[in-house]
């Protein structure tokens, strides 16, 4: 390690060479190849490539760290600034900047306190968005035909769900989607199960969950992506994660939360005995109501049958016919009176018109004189000797020529 001391003193090196030597030196120390560092995350950045860049700090110092996407996929909890973690990785130098950094291969929360802090932070965030509101909750069907289950196919939870469902409501079919419920890949496996039932509509209600365990074991059910998939599905979900005292983000995003997997089965399907009793009760009520309605209709029919119109329909018709005749006679009499009054009024009007008509004057020996153009002649001033005249009498007309014209108020007369 120290064989290069004389060479270092005598030669001049570039910055790149110097950083390369430091990188080689640090990476040659065995303890630095798998070191574990406890610290608080700061300056956290998730690059679009999927790599994670952050710093680890304590009260006095800071070291830069990077976690490549292949390792970042194995982190089972959301990372944020201020979180206390234990990072395992190798120490190296990034030659372009000359900064030594920790290349992290795995990341663990530093005790339960950090996990609970991350849980509460995500819960507050999603709650503020309204993701847990009742508007996202879908009603659980009363009589599901198929119950979907997303859980481990080998755990006790799936056996409890199958046993309780078969005992309570054997009419329902149980469709299991085998999924990882802890460890690497569990989050993606659970999300895949939710998407399967959402896209296929093969279940009327879905139970998602697992048996009890530590907070680390249940951490896949605290996934933000899983919560959004459940809240966005049109299929109702019942969350049954861990024991009665365990709460996960999945519980709040689902339509219902069950304390245990067997409790979820009880919420998903009705009790066949209770259904049978309800059916018998409804049947009894229907029979009673039908009997009451039938008795009422029968009494009504008997009451109608006793009416005169049904017992003697011809007598009823004859009575109406006589009444119709009386109404007819009355109507005819009223019309005669009104017609007579109208006729008298008409005759009076005709007499008045005839008295005023100029033709009635002709009947008394008078005549009406018209010029050859048809104009009525009312004065001798409109007539000249030789004019052709028409005289209208009561029964015809006479054509004449004017031989002389005289004015009556002139003693000597005037003749044209």
Segment 373-396 mean pLDDT: 83
Q: Is the pLDDT of residue 347 over 90?
A: no
Q: Is the pLDDT of residue 184 over 90?
A: no
Q: Would you state the pLDDT for residue 310?
A: 73
Q: How far apart are CA 205 and CA 136, in angstroms?
A: 15
Question: Does residue 412 or residue 158 have the better pLDDT?
Answer: 158
What pairing do the DSSP bridges indicate for beta strands 146-151 and 99-109? unpaired
pLDDT tens-digit readout, 266-281: 999 999 998 899 889 9
Going by the DSSP 8-state scheme, the letter that residue 138 receives in this structure is P
Q: How far apart are CA 10 and CA 227, in angstroms?
A: 64
Q: Would you state the pLDDT for residue 10?
A: 63
Q: Would you state the pLDDT for residue 87?
A: 92
Q: Would you state the pLDDT for residue 2?
A: 46
Interior CA angle at 411 toward 406 and 415, to 5°?
25
Minimal CA–CA distance to 16: which of 96, 108, 116, 99? 96
Question: Does residue 252 or residue 29 have the better pLDDT?
Answer: 252
Segment 105-127 mean pLDDT: 82
Q: Would you state the pLDDT for residue 203?
A: 96
pTM: 0.52
Q: Please state, for a pLDDT cut of 90, what percent of the chain lies above it.
A: 41
Q: Is the pLDDT of residue 313 over 90?
A: no
Order of all β-strands in the sheet with 396-401: 368-370, 388-393, 396-401
Interior CA angle at 118 toward 112 and 124, to 5°?
135
Distance (Å) of CA 55 to CA 36, 80, 128, 280: 14, 11, 28, 69
Report the 3 state secondary structure along 4-48.
CHHHHHHCCCCHHHHHHHHHHHHHCCHHHHCEEEEEEEEEEEECC
Residue 146, strand partner residues? 173
Q: Is the pLDDT of residue 190 over 70?
A: yes
Residue 230 has phi, psi (to 5 degrees) of -65, -45
Distance of CA 269 to the CA centre of its chain: 27
Ordered DSSP codes for 280-307? HHHHHHHHHHHHHHHHHHHHHHHHHHTS
Q: Indicate if the alpha-carbon torsion angle 69, 75, 80, 83 is positive or negative.
A: negative
Segment 147-158 mean pLDDT: 93
Q: Is the pLDDT of residue 112 over 70?
A: no
Segment 164-168 mean pLDDT: 95
Structure tokens at 320: 């109406």
Averaged pLDDT score across all residues of the chain: 86
pLDDT tens-digit readout, 13-28: 888 888 887 888 887 8
Going by the DSSP 8-state scheme, the letter that residue 137 receives in this structure is P
Q: Would you state the pLDDT for residue 179?
A: 95
Cβ atoms 55, 63 nearer than 8 A: yes
Q: Would you state the pLDDT for residue 143?
A: 94
Q: Is the pLDDT of residue 416 over 60?
A: no
Distance (Å) of CA 73 to CA 77, 78, 364: 10, 11, 133
Cβ atoms 28, 3 nearer than 8 A: no
């Amino acid at each position: 390690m120290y064989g290069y001391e004389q060479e270092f003193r005598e030669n001049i090196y570039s910055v790149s060479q110097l950083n390369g030597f430091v990188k080689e030196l640090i990476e040659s120390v065995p303890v630095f190849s798998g070191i574990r560092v406890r610290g608080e995350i700061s300056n956290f950045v998730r690059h679009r490539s999927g790599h994670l860049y952050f710093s680890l700090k304590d009260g006095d110092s800071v070291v830069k760290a990077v976690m490549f996407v292949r390792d970042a996929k194995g982190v089972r909890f959301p990372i944020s600034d201020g979180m206390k973690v234990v990072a395992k990785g190798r120490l190296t130098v990034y030659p372009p900047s000359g900064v030594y950094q920790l290349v992290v291969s795995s990341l663990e929360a530093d005790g339960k306190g950090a996990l609970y802090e991350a849980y509460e932070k995500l819960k507050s965030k999603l709650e503020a968005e309204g993701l847990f509101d009742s508007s996202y909750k879908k009603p659980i069907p009363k009589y599901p035909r198929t119950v979907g289950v997303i859980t481990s196919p080998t755990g006790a939870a799936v056996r409890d769900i199958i046993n309780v469902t078969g005992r309570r409501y054997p009419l329902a079919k149980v469709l299991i989607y085998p999924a990882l419920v802890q460890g690497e890949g569990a989050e993606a496996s659970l999300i895949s199960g939710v998407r399967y039932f959402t896209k296929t509509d093969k279940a009327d209600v879905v139970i998602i969950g697992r048996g009890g365990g530590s907070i680390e074991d249940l951490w896949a059910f605290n996934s933000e992506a899983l919560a959004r998939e459940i809240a966005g599905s049109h299929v109702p979900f019942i969350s049954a994660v861990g024991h009665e005292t365990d709460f996960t983000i999945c519980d709040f995003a689902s339509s219902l939360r069950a304390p245990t997997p067997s409790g979820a089965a009880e919420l998903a399907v009705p009790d066949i005995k209770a259904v049978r009793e309800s059916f018998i009760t409804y049947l009894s009520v229907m029979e009673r109501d039908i009997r009451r309605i039938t008795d009422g209709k029968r009494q009504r029919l008997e009451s109608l049958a006793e009416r005169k119109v049904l017992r003697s329909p011809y007598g009823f018709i004859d009575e109406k016919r006589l009444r119709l005749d009386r109404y007819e006679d009355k109507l005819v009499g009223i019309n005669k009176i009104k017609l007579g009054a109208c006729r008298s009024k008409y005759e009076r009007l005709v007499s008045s018109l005839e008295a005023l008509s100029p033709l009635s004057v002709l009947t008394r020996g008078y005549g009406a004189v018209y010029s050859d153009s048809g104009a009525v002649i009312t004065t001798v001033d409109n007539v000249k000797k030789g004019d052709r005249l028409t005289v209208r009498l009561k029964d015809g007309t006479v054509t004449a020529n004017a031989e002389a014209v005289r004015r009556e108020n002139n003693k000597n007369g005037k003749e044209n």
